[in-house]
Amino acid sequence: MASIRHERRIAADADTVWSVVRRPESIPEWFPGIVSCTVEGNHRVITTAIGLDIPEEILSNDDATRHFAYRITAPQYSFHLGVIDVIDIAPNDSLCVYSTTALPDTLALLIAGGTLGALDEIQRLAESSRVAS
Amino acid sequence: MSRKILFITTDQQRYDTLGANGGTLSRTPVLDRLASEGIRYERCQPTSVVCMPSRSSMLTGQFPSTHGAWMNGVPLAIDAPSVAETLHDAGYATALIGKAHFEPFMDPFGLYAENALANLGIPTIEQDWFDGRRGVHRGFDYLEFATHGVMGPLHYAKWMRDEHPEAIRGFYQVVDQDFNVNAAGGGDSGAPQVKYNSVPREWYHTDWVADRTIRWLEEQPTDQDWFCWMSFPDPHHPWDPPKSEVGRIPWRDVPLPENYPESASERESLLDQKARHWRAWYDGRLVSNYEAPAKWVPATMTADQVREVNALNAVEVELIDEAIGRVLACIDDKGWGDDVDVVFTSDHGELQGDFGLLFKGPYHVDALMRLPLIWRPARSTATVPSVVHAPVSLVSLAATFLEIASEPSPYWVEGASLPIDDDDAKTRSFDATFTEWDSSIFGVDVHVRSVVTDDYLYTEYQPGTVHDGSEGELYDLVDDPLQRVNRFNDPGMTGVRAELSERLSVHENRPGDRATPGALMAPV
């Protein structure tokens, strides 16, 4: 099992950052390479730029703690847990942490590689405040 | 009209696989002829012994610690300098056909152009350039990609799936169900990454790369200058050449490599002289890098497996030689025979049984670091054939291409153009080359620096997961060409070691701008 954490200090209020990621259906807006998704209840299917459909289960989406957790349910994954936490540091200053834990290890690396680009976009969107909350 | 450039690379091919370099297993008459007509380099080193950093050095003319693609899985920055851009600016038509690998293969989100172009159906795509402009992808206005198999989104795999789906199952499955390099054995001996492939030869990627190159060349106007990088994925594992061809070299008749001791105790004794990760990998106690199968233990490898791998590797080398012959014939047919410079090399070597090991990793010895390199200048230059014995590096390729094109070498190129003979090498102080290794994957960090001179191969291991910064290797290349006797701790070599350590220090602290090291995005 491999666990990889990426984090980003963002010059925006935590609520603003959280508004970028809190809606499950918004993921194509901030995760590069995810071109579309469908959401039904707590099930989400993302479609990537190379046409992969990846099913996910949303485990937690907590506005109070700004915590989003999900798992990929595709059979290639023996285990997956993705967690996004947005932590309030000060006005106009927050920390976004995107963690990936998976088995096989290689898949953790592949997903975590994508989350780096996602953090770039989350930062860009939050700092430009172009996201409707 | 300027000189045109055919740049031919293979993947993971050792120096000693060519007849021109003394190899006896493969017949390589086409490359041997190029060597006899041009310049053959006796000691060419890569900047890295894995694909992405090494190939990025070919393109940028920079060491990995400068261009920032420091290990496999770290993409070369999209706006990194590129010799292809400079040639494109100079009016050259620029193509890369075959294996690129400046960007990760494993790319579930489709983030990289290399993985996207086949589906897009376009020959290139506009990206940011290092100088603030936008232009064709890394300076290439035509791109068509292949790699070691038929999985994934690249052009060759897509072509096989679309045109010859019935042949897909003939190929070895490169990765296992855990997405690691597959350890499954095949062939007659059960060697890892071996399979007798039922694919017809004409559909195999070696011939495909040559076919696509010929097609591109035939489309060029006669008076068009061009730079064509023809990049064969072989003889990199898997060793799964077309079954129809394996009879060329019966593996049971293949002699064991000179550096493969049949006795396990002798192998272990040799490995114990080296830094500790050598023996740890051999015994199955450490997997330091992704490039070898995680579930394979080198100590289990049999002599027959070494023979069979070497035989199949040699078959793949012969197929490449024949494919190059077809491309050169096309060039002659176009009337370009006197105006084309041909440069042939590989990105790194292969252990291929040396010291009882296979594949590659942070093991800086000739198996991985001594490469075939041939430069056949355009016949119109009337260059006198020569053999260069001085150490040279793949970091010199970019400057060499620019010199061929009569373009000045830009500030970002770290390597000088290749010498044309030993006198030229001496005049221009070609007396040392440097190879870097940095990896950090799944909790294992390894950092290695090596310098090769006329007489020595010297390696320092920087602090990491298995090294404390005190280990190293020092081989006398004159007395110990197989690098069996590590003299790092020999009191009689203190002065030599100090001098070579200083050379590494100067390399580490060389002036110049460095790119921010890229992020690890995938294992490969």
pLDDT in tens, B122-138: 999 999 999 999 999 99
pLDDT tens by residue, B317-373: 999 999 999 999 999 999 999 999 999 999 999 999 999 999 999 999 999 999 999
Contact A18, A66 (CB under 8 A): yes
Which residues in A lie closer than 8 A to residue B178 (C-beta atoms)? 104-106
Question: Inter-chain contact A48–B179, Cβ cutoff 8 Å?
Answer: no
Of residues B20, B31, B27, the one with CA closest to residue B315? B27
Count other Cβ atoms within 10 Å, centred on residue B299: 16
Q: Cβ atoms within 10 A of the Cβ of B511, count?
A: 4
**Is the Cβ of A50 closer than 8 Å to some Cβ of chain B?**
yes
CA distance B236 to B234: 5
Judged by a CB distance cut-off of 8 A, whether residue B151 touches chain A is no
pLDDT in tens, chain B (524 residues): 789 999 999 999 999 999 999 999 999 999 999 999 999 999 999 999 999 999 999 999 999 999 999 999 999 999 999 999 999 999 999 999 999 999 999 999 999 999 999 989 999 999 999 999 999 999 999 999 999 999 999 999 999 999 999 999 999 999 999 999 999 999 999 999 999 999 999 999 999 999 999 999 999 999 999 999 999 999 999 999 999 999 999 999 999 999 999 999 999 999 999 999 999 999 999 999 999 999 999 999 999 999 999 999 999 999 999 999 999 999 999 999 999 999 999 999 999 999 999 999 999 999 999 999 999 999 999 999 999 999 999 999 999 999 999 999 999 999 999 999 999 999 999 999 999 999 999 999 999 999 999 999 999 999 999 999 999 999 999 999 999 999 999 999 999 999 999 999 999 999 999 999 999 999 99
DSSP annotation of B419: P
pTM (two decimals): 0.97
Tokens linked to B502? 């200083």
- Residues in chain A with CB shorter than 8 Å from the CB of B107 are 50
Would you give the end-to-end CA distance of chain A in angstroms? 35
Chain A residues whose beta carbon lies within 8 Å of the beta carbon of residue B116: 49-50
* B519 interfacial to chain A (CB closer than 8 Å): yes
Residue in this structure with the two tokens 């954490």, named with its chain if needed: A5
**A33 contacts chain B (CB < 8 A):** yes
Distance from C-alpha of B453 to C-alpha of B445, rounded to nearest angstrom = 27
Percent helix, strand and coil across chain A, each rounded to 5? 30, 45, 25
CB burial string B57-88: b at 16+ within 10 A, e below: bbbbbbbbbbbbbbbbbbbbbebbbbbbbbbb
> Which residue of A48, A104, A116 is in closest CB contact with B108?
A48
Q: Report chain A residues whose CB lies below 8 A from the CB of B174.
A: none
| pLDDT confidence of residue A132 | 46
- Cα–Cα distance, B470 to B453 (Å, whole number): 22
Q: State residue B65 phi and psi, 5-degree precision.
A: -70, -10
Distance CA B440, CA B465 (A): 9
The pLDDT value recorded for residue B2 is: 84
B20 Cβ contact list (under 8 Å, min separation 6): B28, B31, B32, B35, B36, B40, B372, B374
Q: In this prediction, does ipTM exceed 0.90?
A: yes
Taking a C-beta distance cutoff of 8 angstroms, is the pair B182, B171 a contact?
Answer: no
Nearest CB to B519 within list A110, A111, A116:
A116
Tokens of B401: 């291409």
Residues of B (280-309) whose Cβ lies below 8 Å from A = 290
